[in-house]
A and B are shown apart, each in its own frame.
Chain A
Amino acid sequence: MVTITIDGIEYEAREGQTVLDVAKENNIPIPSLCHHEALKPWGACRMCVVELNGKIMASCTLPVAKDQNIKTKSELVKTVRKVVLNLLLARCPHSKTIQQLARLYGITKTTLKADEGRDNCILCNVCTRVCAQLGSSAIATVKRGSEKEIGTPFGEKPPDCIGCLSCARNCPTETIKFEETDAGRIIWNKSFEMAECSICKAKTVLTKEQVVFFAKKSGLPEEYFAKCDECARKETAETFAQLVINPGAHIMKAWGFTFGKLEAKAITASPVLPQKFERS
């Protein structure tokens, strides 16, 4: 444990934490846009800047250290955040997320040249990082500098996209558009069909590509993933019941031993299960 000071108050922090982690734990408001709990710190949006020994640092990538004295409300911090918001508002004047954040800093309109007709992407790279983390890497940054954008290879339908929608659902400015119906979805101009349940043939919540992808990654059969909610629930309940009635059975089965079949009746009739679940 180390002790750090944030805005004059001492906090206990664990080694390996970032200043932003500590601030969040202690409800100290630090705005951030490119930070995502499930991803490695990125340090690109510069909204989460704080002051340390007169220097501006991004708190999301700043590891805690003994006797650190952090300021989150200094004039310099405010100035930098305001410039960042002014810049982002110029880039995407119609983004609700940016507008709201800017208002907190007293900015309602950018003083810079606003880009009309551009989408609301702020290049926080959450989408590309989520995509890479899940193992697809179907989208990535294209070009560099002020021309940089998020895109698919050659601007075409991304061959590696599995239609999981993680990019769109994690986008802080809701810029990535997608369409969804019961039968399928469209994202990045690519159409996906939903996989059929391997048991009841109803549409599942996964695309066919997702099923193939998960099966390949995990080494489990595709049927394992191609299941509708109802069948999946049923199957989980059955497995659980088996465990309760005959705890060693699935291990034995995995080891290649076979025992006498259990009565289906005994499984469904077991009164113990639901009560136990309700209690928790």
Chain B
Amino acid sequence: MRFSNTKDLGTRIESAKAARQKVKRRLLVCAGTGCIANGSLEIADALQKELDARGVKLNVELSLKKTGCHGFCEHGPLVTFHPEEIFYQRVNAKDAAEIVEKTVLKGEVIDRLLYTDPTTKQKVTKYFDIPFYAKQQRVVLANCGQIDPAAIDDYFAVGGYSALKKVLEEKNPEGVISAVEEAGLRGRGGGGFTTGKKWRICRGQTSDKKYLICNGDEGDPGAFMDRSIMEGDPHAVLEGMMIGAYAIGANEGVIYVRHEYPLAVKHLEKAIADARACGILGENILGSNFSFDVSISRGGGAFVCGEETALLNSVMGETGEPRPRPPYPAVEGLWGKPTIINNVETLANVPTIINKGAKWFNGLGFKNSHGTKVFSLVGKVRNTGLVEVPMGATLRDIIFGIGGGILNDRPFKAVQTGGPSGGCIPASALDLPIDYETLTENGSMMGSGGMIVMDDRTCMVDVAKYFIKFLMGESCGKCVPCREGLRQMSYILENITEGKGKPEDIERIRELSVGILNGSLCALGQTAVNPVLSTLKYFENEYHAHIKDHKCPGGVCKPLITYGITDKCTGCTVCARACPVNCISGEKKKLHLIDQKKCTKCGACFSSCRFDAIEVK
């Protein structure tokens, strides 16, 4: 099926839509990395077997599909049944027979597999009744978990490639750029530069060759929205790239994907091959003058390659060292040619802007931040996963509304946003609207949308040390402030967490920060001190507690803590059995005791105790 013009494509989209409407019952198994890890592929096989065993044939009325990530990975593997929207979680292959017997054949709900709302303790049957989904507005993630990412027809069936069709039929490149500008789309990967403006700069360059690169080097630890989008809706990324390429006049595209994301690579490769076969990618796309093709470049594992100029060097087969800007890549990029680098989520927004209109997109959001943003809500929160909300939602909406509050009802301490370049935001800022500017004003940043929730058992000095060590290992090592500064910063923080800190260390950290922040060559170094400065701003008392009192208020820093057993102990012996160095003694049903001399402070007793009887001091 090769479409020679946009009309053929339109016909195909319509027929695919009609076919999808005919399907009366859909059994969807999540096959994102998280659910696969928990055995979802075996579940899909088991379901198929059970259907076969009962002679139930898959046909236009009943389908069984493996979809992309739903974002609620912690409760995986997930199986959903439509149109009833029955949502089963933590499914096992052994449940397959029952699902087929009761739900598929009789429409009955299996209570045991339903999700229990941790707040109300009520079972919830339907997908969109689960608070985690009910309070989201899924635009970019709309197709993730709903379609088979490996089937281009599934993408057609949800109106896929109709934006490309519209662009080729109705818009000139200028029109596309105006629409994206009017929509107010800003980069979803970090700095938040206006996408339309960036495209316009590139469009204005005269060159025989231009490139469009999709940055899928999701390096922020704790963020996985780009992985989910590439895995779950790869064609949306491709369609966004095509529209962008058309706008700037590029004929070659590269998707730069982390090597840690093998499934994303696999799905993108399939999507590219299918799109080529359809005549949507390649020479004279859909009979137009527009030619564009895409290749995949697997990153070598370097966080710094998320930085545009380092990424370019990596694609050109060099070490990922950034170079000074200007010249900006839009003027002088890959192989010296004008190049646009957009993040995955940014590009996945483009087809929707074309389809629903710039006004619609611009109407969503807050102040100068428009549309929605996907956050990866993780850490010490009840419901962890991918969350998409309109810009301007508050941290409280997300953490307590969608996330269901803090794990084990502990107090909220801080939320870290923006990855290693971001900062920690305290409880006092929970009601602030989330947009690019507000986050920056509060010492953090949007970044790619990582949102790591921390409770009172998190040590803020340890968090700062974690990020500094992370960046020290990820710094390319080219410029002095970043390479040497982060190393020195790490020494100081290491000392503090070991109880060897000195009062003057705080001043030293501040001095170093000024040099690193202002003096570093690229954004990695320039923002590297944010985790330290923000924790120092909001939690300076914790630093003092480590330095002056030799105490870790979060109970994390090993040299400063001791584990003990309180009289809550029931003598169940679980901790004694969990202890790897056998330093817990005590008879059954009697209070246990930890031998402090032998204790390695591994925390195994703490995590194993079911009676909250282990205390950390």
Interface positions of A (Cβ within 8 A of B): 41, 43-47, 49, 55-56, 58, 61-63, 76, 79-80, 82-84, 86-88, 90-91, 111-113, 122-123, 125, 141, 143-148
Which B residues lie within 8 Å of A112 (CB)? 488, 491, 508, 512
Residues of chain B at interface, number, CB under 8 A: 32
In whole Å, how far is A124's beta carbon from the nearest beta carbon of chain B?
Answer: 9
Cβ-defined contact, B475 with A83, below 8 A: no
Which A residues lie within 8 Å of B511 (CB)? 83
Cβ-defined contact, A90 with B479, below 8 A: no
Q: What are the 9 A-B residue pairs with the smallest beta carbon separation, nearest first?
A: A83-B515, A148-B477, A87-B484, A61-B324, A146-B487, A56-B518, A145-B475, A80-B519, A43-B324
Enumerate B519-556 residues with CB–CB distance to A below 8 Å: 519-521
A56 to B522 CA separation, bound complex (whole angstroms) = 12
A113 to B480 CA separation, bound complex (whole angstroms) = 15
Please, could you name 16 A-B residue pairs with CB atoms under 8 Å apart, sorted by A? A43-B521, A44-B480, A46-B480, A46-B521, A80-B515, A80-B518, A84-B519, A87-B480, A87-B515, A141-B477, A144-B302, A144-B474, A145-B473, A145-B475, A145-B477, A146-B477
Which A residues lie within 8 Å of B479 (CB)? 43-46
Give the one of A43, A76, A125 with max B CB within 10 A. A43
Interface positions of B (Cβ within 8 A of A): 302, 319, 323-324, 326, 472-481, 483-488, 491, 508, 511-512, 514-516, 518-521
Cβ-defined contact, B508 with A83, below 8 A: no
Given contacts A80-B518, A145-B474, contact A46 B481 (CB under 8 A): yes
A87 to B513 CA separation, bound complex (whole angstroms) = 12
A88 to B480 CA separation, bound complex (whole angstroms) = 8
A146 to B475 CA separation, bound complex (whole angstroms) = 7
B483 interface neighbour in A43, A56, A86, A145, Cβ under 8 Å: A145
Main secondary structure on A side of the interface with B:
mixed
Give the one of B324, B472, B512, B521 with max A CB within 10 A. B324
Q: Which residue of A lies closest to B481 (CB)?
A: A46
Given contacts A80-B514, A144-B302, A146-B472, contact A123 B519 (CB under 8 A): no
A143 to B472 CA separation, bound complex (whole angstroms) = 12
Given contacts A44-B478, A56-B519, contact A144 B512 (CB under 8 A): no
A97 to B487 CA separation, bound complex (whole angstroms) = 22
Q: Which residue of A lies closest to B488 (CB)?
A: A112
A144 to B471 CA separation, bound complex (whole angstroms) = 11
In whole Å, how far is A66's beta carbon from the nearest beta carbon of chain B?
Answer: 14
A265 to B491 CA separation, bound complex (whole angstroms) = 76
Which A residues lie within 8 Å of B515 (CB)? 79-80, 82-84, 86-87
Cβ-defined contact, B323 with A45, below 8 A: no
Cβ-defined contact, B485 with A83, below 8 A: yes
Give the one of A41, A122, A147 with max B CB within 10 A. A147
A147 to B484 CA separation, bound complex (whole angstroms) = 10
A87 to B475 CA separation, bound complex (whole angstroms) = 16
A106 to B183 CA separation, bound complex (whole angstroms) = 53
Given contacts A56-B518, A146-B472, contact A43 B484 (CB under 8 A): no
Cβ-defined contact, B319 with A144, below 8 A: yes
A55 to B488 CA separation, bound complex (whole angstroms) = 24
A58 interface neighbour in B477, B484, B521, Cβ under 8 Å: B521
In whole Å, how far is B532's beta carbon from the nearest beta carbon of chain A?
Answer: 15
